[in-house]
Amino acid sequence: GSWVLYESDLNKDATPPPLVPPSAEKRKWKIVWRNVILFMLLHLGGLYGAYLFLTQAMWTTRIFTV
């Protein structure tokens, strides 16, 4: 790809762009532990809610939610 929208925008004398755009370069991962913990709590809450829905909810509630 030439990374231009229209052929008239293409400068034929310029060097071709690199195959990998700069935004795709390798980066060092930075783990945000606050987010990891919050997402773990969120997923545990979802699993607990699903467990309660399947074991404790009345059948009328299950039908209403479907």
Provide the token pair at 53: 């829905």
Instruction: Give me the pLDDT at residue 17, please.
Output: 61
For residue 18, report the phi and psi dihedrals to the nearest 5 degrees.
-65, 155
**Hey, where are the domains in the chain?**
31-65
14 compared with 62, residue with greater pLDDT: 62
pTM: 0.54
Residue 21 has pLDDT above 90, yes or no: no
- Secondary structure letter of residue 19 according to DSSP: S
